[in-house]
C-alpha cells in the first residue's frame, strides 16, 4: 500500500510538472488558454470613420453545417424554389457567381479541419463584421477589414501562423512575416495584395491595411471610444436587437460617389421607362450622404433604414417634395384603408405637391405623348398650354393622393340607352388590365367649379380626346347620379381594357377617378370588406414608421391571374419587338419576287403588280411570324410563370418612406412564409 501511494504521488507530481511545462510552452508559443474574451460588441473595435460597415451576430445559427442554410429544407419545399431550381435564371446565377465552385472549395477546405469543425466554428460564427474605405478606380480596389469572434480552435489556427511550415503555407508560395505575437503579414502565392491577420483576445482581424491593425489595438485600450459602436448614428439608427437576427448596415454614399464618380446613376431620370424616369426625378441615391440601418431576416425581410441628404445634389423639385407634411398611421386608416377593398393588389398613399408631381410625371413621359396632350388641351380654348391645366389642378386639390389597384373581375361595362333602354358597352381593345381608382382631396366649393369645368371641357370636345359613345353619333360623355353624387363617364377605345374613365365628386370633397364604375361602387357603398379590417395590414402598419410621406401596400397573390394575362400580352409584344422587320422583309421580298414575277426587277413592276407583290410579302411575313411566335412563346411563358411564382412567395409587402429636406427614413416589410 505504501509503495502504491508513493507511486501515485510521484505520478501526480510528474503530471503536474508536465502540465505546467505544457501550459507555459503553449502560452509562450501560441496564446494564453485562459485569456478573457473581448467584453464589448465587435463594432467597438472598428473605427467610426469607415465608409462601409456590415455586421451579423450569431451567423452560425443561420447554417446547418456551413455553407448549407439551416432553412434550406423549408425553402426547397416552396413553389418559388421549385420554379427557380433548374431554371435558366439559376444556371446563369450559378455560372456568373461561381456558386457551385465556391461551395466545393469551402467543403474541400473544411474537410481538412480536424474534429469536424466548420469555417464558422473557427471564425465569425458568433459575430462577423466587414468594414473598410472606398479607394481606387473600382470597388474591388477598396481597403477592407473582416472582424470575427473565434473560439479556442480559431485562436489556435491564427497563432499557428507563426509556424507557416506546419500549415503548409511555404508550399503554396505564401510568406508570413510575424509583426508581433498577435499580428502577421501574409503575401505571395495567389493573393492579389498582402493581407494582415491580427488578434485581440477572441476577435480576429483579416485586412488589406495595417491601419485597422493599429486601430484595433488603440480602440481596445480606449474601451471603444471613437468606434462605430459608440457613434451617435449607430446607436440612433443601427444597433441590433438582443437576439442577433438582424444585419447591421452603414454606407457612406457621399464618399462612394466621390471615389467612383462614374458610378451608374440610379434611378435614372433619363430612362426610356416611365416608372424609372419618374422615380429618378423623385429621389437620387447620389443625393444621399449616407445610409444606415438594419435588416431582419425571419419569414421574409424587415428593413429599417435611415439616410441623410446632401442639398448640393438635390433638384428644386426634390427640395419642395421633401418639405411636404407627413401623415400618421391613423390618417392612413381613416382616409384610405377604410375605403380600400381588402383584396386590393396595391394601395399607395402619398403626401406631396400634386401640381409638381404632375409636372414631373409629364416630363418623364414620352415627348410625343406630351406634345399630343398639349395640343389636345390647347385646342379646347380653355387653356393656352398643358402647364395651365396643371396649375389649375394644383389650385384645386390638396397635396395628397391615393391609388388603389385590384383585380378587374367585374366583367364588361354595360349601360342602357336612355329612352330605348337597350344595352350598350364601350368599345375596348380587349387588353387585360387591373381595375384602379385614383383619389384626390379637393378644396371645397371653388374646387367643385374647377373640376366640373375641366370635366365639361373634355366631354364637350370628344373629337379632341378620342371619346366615342356606345351608339353611333354619341359623344361618349355621360353625366348621372351614383349614390346621390355627381358621376361622369368618358368612353374612349383608347382607354386600355375597359374603354372608359369615370369620375365622381363625393360629399366629402373627394374626387375619384377610376377605369371601372363597379370598383367605385365597391368603394363608396362599402360592398366589400375593407383593408382596415385586415389583421395582417394592421400588424404591418403598426410595425412600420410612425409617420410617412409615402406608403405602399402590395399583395401580389390577389393579382396573380391579371398579371399572368398581362404577361402573356407582354410576351407577344416582346417577340414582335425583338424582330428586325426591315431585314426580315427584305429577305421575304428577295424570295417572293422571282417566284411571283420571274425575270423582273422591282422597278419593272406595274402598279397592280407592286400591290400584289406587297400583299404576298405581307402574308408570308405574317405566316413566318406566327410560326416564330409559337416557337418562342413557351420559353417566354415559362419565364413569366417563374416570375409569378417568385412574386407569389410574398404574401404581403409594406413600404413606408418618411422624407424631410435633410434626411429620410425607410421601412420595408416583406412577408415570405416558408410553407405553402
- The residues near 371 (Cβ < 8 Å, ≥ 6 apart) are none
pLDDT band of residue 35 (cuts 50, 70, 90) is confident
Segment 445-464 shows an average pLDDT of 92
- State residue 410's pLDDT score: 93
What is the chain's alpha carbon radius of gyration, rounded to the nearest angstrom? 34
- State residue 21's pLDDT score: 41
- State residue 116's pLDDT score: 64
Rounded to a whole number of angstroms, the distance between the first and last alpha carbons of the chain is 73
Residue 123 has pLDDT above 80, yes or no: no
- State residue 7's pLDDT score: 44
- State residue 14's pLDDT score: 46
pLDDT band of residue 499 (cuts 50, 70, 90) is very high
Segment 91-112 shows an average pLDDT of 76
**pLDDT tens string 379-391:** 999 999 999 999 9
H helices, E strands: number in the chain: 24, 24
**Beta bridge mates, 657:** 550, 666
Nearest to 250 by CA among 550, 537, 47, 35: 47
Which residue shows C-alpha cell 425575270? 599
3-state secondary structure of 127: strand
Residue 10 has pLDDT above 60, yes or no: no
Nearest to 54 by CA among 121, 154, 145, 142: 145
Distance between CA 89 and CA 516 in Å, rounded?
37
User: Taking the CA of residue 375 as centre, how many other CA atoms within 13 Å lie in the half-sphere pointing to its CB?
Assistant: 9
Which residue shows C-alpha cell 463594432? 43
Residue 2 has pLDDT above 70, yes or no: no
- State residue 175's pLDDT score: 87
pLDDT band of residue 572 (cuts 50, 70, 90) is confident
Residue 250 has pLDDT above 80, yes or no: yes
Segment 363-372 shows an average pLDDT of 89
Rounded to whole angstroms, what are the CA distances from 589 to 120, 362, 597, 615?
66, 42, 11, 11
Residue 51 has pLDDT above 80, yes or no: yes
Residue 502 has pLDDT above 90, yes or no: yes
For residue 497, what is the DSSP state? Answer: T
Nearest to 489 by CA among 471, 474, 511, 504: 504
Residue count (the chain): 676
Residue 460 has pLDDT above 60, yes or no: yes
pLDDT band of residue 186 (cuts 50, 70, 90) is confident
Average pLDDT, rounded, for the chain: 87
Distance between CA 556 and CA 80 in Å, rounded?
13
**% of residues, the chain, pLDDT over 70:** 91
Rounded to whole angstroms, what are the CA distances from 273 to 276, 318, 321, 361, 647?
6, 20, 22, 12, 21
- The residues near 649 (Cβ < 8 Å, ≥ 6 apart) are 78, 79, 80, 672
Alpha-helical segments (H) within 283-344: 316-321, 329-335
Best mean pLDDT range from 24-28, 85-89, 99-103, 459-463: 459-463
3-state secondary structure of 79: helix
- State residue 13's pLDDT score: 45
Give kind and range of the element (H or E) at residue 293: strand 288-297
Residue 266 has pLDDT above 90, yes or no: no
Beta strands in 37-181 (DSSP E): 52-57, 127-133, 143-149, 174-180
Distance between CA 544 and CA 671 in Å, rounded?
13
pLDDT band of residue 18 (cuts 50, 70, 90) is very low
- State residue 3's pLDDT score: 53
Segment 46-58 shows an average pLDDT of 93
Distance between CA 8 and CA 16 in Å, rounded?
12
Residue 293 has pLDDT above 80, yes or no: yes
pLDDT band of residue 222 (cuts 50, 70, 90) is very high
Residue 11 has pLDDT above 60, yes or no: no
pLDDT band of residue 9 (cuts 50, 70, 90) is very low
Q: Which cell numbers hold the place of 623?
A: 405566316
- State residue 162's pLDDT score: 79
Phi, psi of 33 (to 5 degrees): -60, -35
**Beta bridge mates, 304:** 294, 667
Q: Do the Cβ atoms of 647 and 346 come closer than 8 Å?
A: no
Segment 36-54 shows an average pLDDT of 93
Segment 531-557 shows an average pLDDT of 95
Segment 404-411 shows an average pLDDT of 94
Residue 652: burial class (beta carbons within 10 Å; 0-12, 13-18, 19+) = buried
Beta strands in 160-258 (DSSP E): 174-180, 183-188, 195-200, 203-207, 246-251
Residue 675 has pLDDT above 80, yes or no: no
Q: Answer with the residue of higher pLDDT: 192 or 385.
A: 385
Lowest model confidence (mean pLDDT) among 19-28, 167-176, 266-275, 508-517:
19-28
- State residue 239's pLDDT score: 76
pTM (2 d.p.): 0.85
Distance between CA 213 and CA 195 in Å, rounded?
11
Q: Do the Cβ atoms of 147 and 46 come closer than 8 Å?
A: yes
Residue 271 has pLDDT above 80, yes or no: yes
Segment 477-492 shows an average pLDDT of 92
Q: Do the Cβ atoms of 229 and 46 come closer than 8 Å?
A: yes
Segment 124-137 shows an average pLDDT of 88
Q: Which cell numbers hold the place of 524?
A: 363608396
Segment 111-130 shows an average pLDDT of 72
- The residues near 127 (Cβ < 8 Å, ≥ 6 apart) are 41, 42, 55, 56, 57, 58, 59, 147, 148, 149
**pLDDT tens string 655-670:** 999 999 999 999 999 9
- State residue 115's pLDDT score: 52
- State residue 70's pLDDT score: 76
Amino acid at each position: 500500500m505504501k509503495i502504491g501511494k508513493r507511486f501515485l504521488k510521484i505520478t501526480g507530481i510528474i503530471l503536474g510538472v508536465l502540465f505546467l511545462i505544457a501550459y507555459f510552452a503553449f502560452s509562450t508559443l501560441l496564446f494564453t488558454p485562459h485569456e478573457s474574451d473581448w467584453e464589448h460588441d465587435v463594432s467597438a473595435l472598428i473605427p467610426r470613420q469607415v465608409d462601409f460597415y456590415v455586421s451579423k451576430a450569431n451567423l452560425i445559427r443561420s447554417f446547418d453545417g456551413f455553407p448549407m442554410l439551416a432553412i434550406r429544407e423549408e425553402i426547397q419545399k416552396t413553389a418559388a424554389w421549385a420554379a427557380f431550381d433548374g431554371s435558366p435564371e439559376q444556371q446563369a446565377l450559378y455560372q456568373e457567381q461561381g456558386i457551385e465552385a465556391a461551395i466545393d472549395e469551402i467543403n474541400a477546405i473544411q474537410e481538412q479541419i480536424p474534429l469536424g469543425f466548420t469555417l464558422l466554428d473557427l471564425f465569425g460564427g458568433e459575430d462577423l463584421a466587414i468594414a473598410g474605405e472606398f479607394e481606387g478606380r473600382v470597388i474591388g480596389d477598396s481597403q477592407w477589414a473582416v472582424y470575427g469572434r473565434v473560439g479556442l480552435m480559431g485562436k489556435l489556427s491564427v497563432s499557428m501562423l507563426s509556424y507557416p511550415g506546419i500549415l503548409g503555407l511555404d508550399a503554396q508560395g505564401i510568406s508570413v512575416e510575424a509583426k508581433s505575437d498577435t499580428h502577421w503579414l501574409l503575401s505571395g502565392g495567389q493573393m492579389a495584395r498582402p493581407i494582415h491577420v491580427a488578434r485581440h483576445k477572441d476577435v480576429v482581424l483579416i485586412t488589406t491595411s495595417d491601419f485597422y491593425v493599429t486601430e484595433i489595438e488603440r480602440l481596445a485600450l480606449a474601451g471603444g471610444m471613437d468606434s462605430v459602436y459608440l457613434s451617435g448614428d449607430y446607436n440612433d439608427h443601427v444597433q441590433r436587437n438582443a437576439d442577433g437576427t438582424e444585419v447591421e448596415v452603414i454606407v457612406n454614399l457621399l464618399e462612394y460617389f466621390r471615389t467612383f464618380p462614374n458610378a451608374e446613376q440610379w434611378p435614372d431620370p433619363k430612362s426610356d421607362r416611365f416608372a424609372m424616369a419618374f422615380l429618378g426625378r423623385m429621389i437620387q441615391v447620389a443625393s444621399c450622404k449616407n445610409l444606415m440601418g438594419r435588416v431582419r431576416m425571419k419569414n421574409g425581410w424587415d428593413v429599417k433604414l435611415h439616410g441623410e441628404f446632401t442639398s448640393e445634389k438635390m433638384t428644386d423639385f426634390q427640395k419642395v417634395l421633401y418639405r411636404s407634411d407627413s401623415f400618421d398611421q391613423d390618417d392612413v386608416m381613416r382616409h384610405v384603408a377604410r375605403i380600400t377593398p381588402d383584396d386590393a393588389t396595391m394601395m399607395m398613399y402619398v403626401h406631396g405637391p400634386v401640381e409638381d408631381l404632375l409636372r414631373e410625371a409629364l416630363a418623364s413621359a414620352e415627348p410625343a405623348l406630351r406634345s399630343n396632350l398639349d395640343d389636345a388641351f390647347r385646342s379646347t380654348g380653355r387653356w393656352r398650354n398643358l402647364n395651365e391645366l396643371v396649375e389649375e389642378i394644383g389650385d384645386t386639390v390638396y397635396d395628397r393622393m391615393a391609388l388603389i389597384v385590384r383585380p378587374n373581375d367585374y366583367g364588361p361595362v354595360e349601360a342602357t340607352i336612355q329612352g330605348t333602354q337597350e344595352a350598350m358597352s364601350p368599345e375596348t381593345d380587349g387588353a387585360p388590365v387591373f381595375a384602379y381608382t385614383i383619389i384626390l382631396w379637393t378644396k371645397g366649393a371653388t374646387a367643385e367649379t374647377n373640376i366640373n369645368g375641366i370635366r365639361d371641357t373634355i366631354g364637350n370636345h370628344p373629337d379632341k380626346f378620342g371619346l366615342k359613345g356606345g351608339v353611333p353619333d354619341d359623344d361618349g360623355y355621360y353625366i348621372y347620379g351614383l349614390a346621390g353624387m355627381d358621376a361622369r363617364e368618358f368612353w374612349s377605345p383608347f382607354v386600355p381594357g375597359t374603354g372608359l374613365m369615370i369620375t365622381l365628386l363625393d360629399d366629402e370633397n373627394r374626387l375619384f377617378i377610376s377605369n371601372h364604375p363597379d370598383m367605385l361602387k365597391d368603394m363608396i357603398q362599402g360592398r366589400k370588406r375593407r383593408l382596415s379590417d385586415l389583421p395582417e395590414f394592421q400588424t404591418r402598419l403598426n410595425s412600420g414608421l410612425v409617420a410617412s410621406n409615402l406608403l405602399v401596400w402590395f399583395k401580389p397573390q390577389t393579382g396573380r391571374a391579371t398579371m399572368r394575362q398581362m404577361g402573356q400580352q407582354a410576351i407577344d409584344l416582346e417577340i414582335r419587338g425583338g424582330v428586325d422587320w426591315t431585314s426580315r422583309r427584305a429577305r421575304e421580298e428577295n424570295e417572293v419576287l422571282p417566284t411571283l414575277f420571274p425575270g423582273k426587277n422591282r422597278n419593272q413592276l406595274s402598279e397592280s403588280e407592286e400591290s400584289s407583290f406587297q400583299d404576298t410579302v405581307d402574308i408570308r411575313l405574317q405566316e413566318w411570324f406566327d410560326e416564330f411566335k409559337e416557337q418562342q412563346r413557351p420559353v417566354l411563358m415559362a419565364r413569366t410563370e417563374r416570375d409569378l411564382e417568385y412574386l407569389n412567395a410574398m404574401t404581403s409587402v409594406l413600404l413606408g418612406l418618411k422624407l424631410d429636406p435633410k434626411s429620410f427614413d425607410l421601412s420595408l416589410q416583406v412577408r415570405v412564409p416558408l410553407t405553402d
